[in-house]
Amino acid sequence: MLCRYRPKGVCDANLLYQAATERGADPVTSTVVRDSVAAARTGREPGTVAIIGGGASGALTARAIARNSAWRTVLISPESRPGRGVAYGPAEEWHLLNSRAAAMSADSTDPQQLLRWCRERGIPADAASFLPRPVYGDYLADQFASAAGPRLSHHRATALAVRPDGPRWIVTDDTGAETRAEHLILALGNPAPCVPSAVGDEARDDVAFVADPWAPGALDAVPADQPVLLLGTGLTAIDVALTLTRDPRAAPLEALSRRGMLPRAHPAVPAPAVDLEVEATQSLSPLIRRLRQAVADGAHWSAVMDTVRHQADRLWAGLDTAAQERFLRHAQRYWEVHRHRMAPPVAARITALRDSGALRVRSGRLTSVEPDPRGGLLVRVEGEQPKRYGAVITCTGPGPLPCSGGPLLKGMFDDGLLRTGPHALGVDTDDDGQARPGLWLVGPLRRGRLWESTAVPEIRSQAERLAAALPEPAEHHLRTATA
Ligand SMILES: Cc1cc2nc3c(=O)[nH]c(=O)nc-3n(C[C@H](O)[C@H](O)[C@H](O)COP(=O)(O)OP(=O)(O)OC[C@H]3O[C@@H](n4cnc5c(N)ncnc54)[C@H](O)[C@@H]3O)c2cc1C
């Protein structure tokens, strides 16, 4: 049996080699094993960067490091092909990107790369296209695969715990292996969605309640002959509505949120870009006035959003804490519905569903959800009669940290290795994404310190900046040797 819980530093290469052979892994291609064996043979360990997480953030960061530095990188994630993650892995062909292809290249220095990749495969696309998300997932997976080689490899595993060991980090995982790295990058995606507190404990355990619509098979048992309630009216609710209406339904879907606001649609033809430099202020009102003025002066609102989105981190950082809180309370939802927009074909389908009565979008305050003795769930909305649904599906956004972070993150918070950033939206880091020496974050978990940290263009630039900020391995060894 392997050394998962052995004291630090005693998990040697022979044990790893033996364990890999026992579980049928090829010890030559299993990076952790191979390098530990090599280290044991040569008496020195190669400089290693470990990345935990194989979605867009992990894959783009791995690729950027492989291209820009001499570190050897191990990406740890359970998927067979890193790159797709939650957004582009479980998606169906009717789930389209909510950004145009022009914005989605994996390489900021080569904006045409995605379009070339499509062309080479006979996939029709131009700069203004909204590609199917599974196609984009294949593209990201290809980007990782083509960067993989002697200096970049994938260790297929789920990380269980992280601990520091002098200047290194040790990651233990569910295969029993330990990965030692000088630098560790967490690319774990969003915290899990928060189940609304109105959903009682018994309802949470009921088969009619779906806590995570992205879990494999989560929507398979949702009945077509009974009303279904979606908790949330954002892009996740749209995705779920598209999936549940692929086949005709005998009973309608309802989507409920406090304001009942749906994401806006992209204009069919991109609006002309605006030249707008917004000055940072400590309070919110001047910013909102400035944006309204730009629209009043004739700019299309979507072009204003597209410009301001690239200034959002600077503007967010300029607000004082009270103004940030006011934004979260009063303006966040308005920002989101204008910023995260539906592709035009998706918007057209949603309009058709609403017009036919197959989808009802409404506002209201959920007060309780409990099992109904007749089956399904009984839902109460403030000021309305209770109503029975065949299924209730959580379509809300990510929950706050640390409670929504999953066991690995929770352990790191408990051990004092991480602390939450502003408003508990993410993890606190410096401007390059470093939470403490040698421990880095990339992707949505940096929200709070940053405002825009979710979409591919922002993740891509975080990945490139992180790769540039890593010291070269020789420099790292010199620093730790003289420290
Ligand atoms: C439905 C949806 C649609 C989107 N559409 C767009 C779009 O059109 N355009 C755009 O720019 N952005 C879009 N985004 C936003 C953005 O692309 C995603 O947020 C981004 O892909 C996040 O990637 P990630 O790698 O950070 O997270 P994830 O995709 O969530 O990946 C997290 C990874 O971490 C791994 N992991 C977690 N815990 C462990 C562990 N303990 N050990 C090992 N591995 C672990 C998971 O297996 C997974 O590989 C979309 C997001 C979603 C959710």
Residue appearing with tokens 């131009």: 126
For residue 257, CA distances in Å to 104, 230, 327, 366, 387 come to 30, 9, 18, 8, 16
Query: Residue with the nearest Cα to atom 34 of ligand 1?
Result: 53
Residue 239 CA: nearest ligand 1 atom is: 1
Q: What is the mean pLDDT of residues 330-334?
A: 94
pLDDT given for residue 399 in this prediction: 85
pLDDT given for residue 192 in this prediction: 85
Q: How far is the CA of 57 from the centre of ligand 1 (A)?
A: 7
- CATH numbers and ranges of domains, the chain: 13-191+400-482 (3.50.50.60), 201-264+341-394 (3.50.50.60), 284-339 (no CATH)
The DSSP annotation for 330-386 comes to: IIHHHHHHHHS-B-HHHHHHHHHHHHHTSEEEEE--EEEEEE-TTSSEEEEETTS--
pLDDT given for residue 323 in this prediction: 97
pLDDT given for residue 46 in this prediction: 57
Q: How far is the CA of 86 from the centre of ligand 1 (A)?
A: 5
pLDDT given for residue 458 in this prediction: 96
Tell whether ligand 1 has an atom less than 6 A from the beta carbon of residue 87.
yes
Q: What is the mean pLDDT of residues 237-251?
A: 96
Give the Cα separation of 394 and 192 in Å (integer).
11
At 2-40, the pLDDT tens digits run: 222 233 332 333 333 334 434 444 333 344 444 443 443
Tell whether ligand 1 has an atom less than 6 A from the beta carbon of residue 199.
no
Give the Cα separation of 155 and 230 in Å (integer).
37
Q: How far is the CA of 87 from the centre of ligand 1 (A)?
A: 5
Tell whether ligand 1 has an atom less than 6 A from the beta carbon of residue 76.
yes
Six-digit token string for 132? 């199917």
Q: What is the bridge-based pairing of β-strands 439-441 and 434-436?
A: antiparallel
Tell whether ligand 1 has an atom less than 6 A from the beta carbon of residue 179.
no
Write the DSSP symbol of residue 186. Answer: E
Q: How far is the CA of 439 from the centre of ligand 1 (A)?
A: 20
* Structural element, H or E, at residue 50: strand 48-52
Residue 84 CA: nearest ligand 1 atom is: 29
Tell whether ligand 1 has an atom less than 6 A from the beta carbon of residue 408.
yes
Residue 160 CA: nearest ligand 1 atom is: 41
Q: What is the mean pLDDT of residues 393-398?
A: 93
At 250-266, the pLDDT tens digits run: 999 999 999 999 999 99
Six-digit token string for 294? 């730009």
Q: How far is the CA of 56 from the centre of ligand 1 (A)?
A: 6
More confident: 372 or 1: 372
Cβ distance 48 to 180 under 8 Å?
yes
Tell whether ligand 1 has an atom less than 6 A from the beta carbon of residue 102.
no
pLDDT band for 478, please (50, 70, 90 cuts). Answer: low
At 212-235, the pLDDT tens digits run: 998 889 999 999 999 999 999 999
Give the Cα separation of 2 and 380 in Å (integer).
51
Residue 53 CA: nearest ligand 1 atom is: 34
Residue appearing with tokens 């910013």: 287
Residue 407 CA: nearest ligand 1 atom is: 41
At 398-446, the pLDDT tens digits run: 888 877 788 999 999 999 999 999 999 999 999 999 999 999 999 999 9
For residue 338, CA distances in Å to 81, 265, 302 come to 33, 8, 7
| 152-156 sheet: strands from edge to edge | 152-156, 72-77, 48-52, 183-186, 439-441, 434-436
At 147-187, the pLDDT tens digits run: 999 999 999 999 999 999 999 999 999 999 999 999 999 99
Tell whether ligand 1 has an atom less than 6 A from the beta carbon of residue 55.
yes
Tell whether ligand 1 has an atom less than 6 A from the beta carbon of residue 99.
yes
pLDDT given for residue 144 in this prediction: 98
Tell whether ligand 1 has an atom less than 6 A from the beta carbon of residue 132.
no
pLDDT band for 193, please (50, 70, 90 cuts). Answer: confident
Cβ distance 239 to 251 under 8 Å?
no
Mean pLDDT of the chain, nearest integer: 89
Q: What is the mean pLDDT of residues 447-459?
A: 95
Query: Residue with the nearest Cα to atom 12 of ligand 1?
Result: 455
Residue 173 CA: nearest ligand 1 atom is: 42
Q: Please give the model's pTM, rounded to 2 decimal places.
A: 0.89
pLDDT given for residue 475 in this prediction: 58
Residues in a beta bridge with 387 = 379
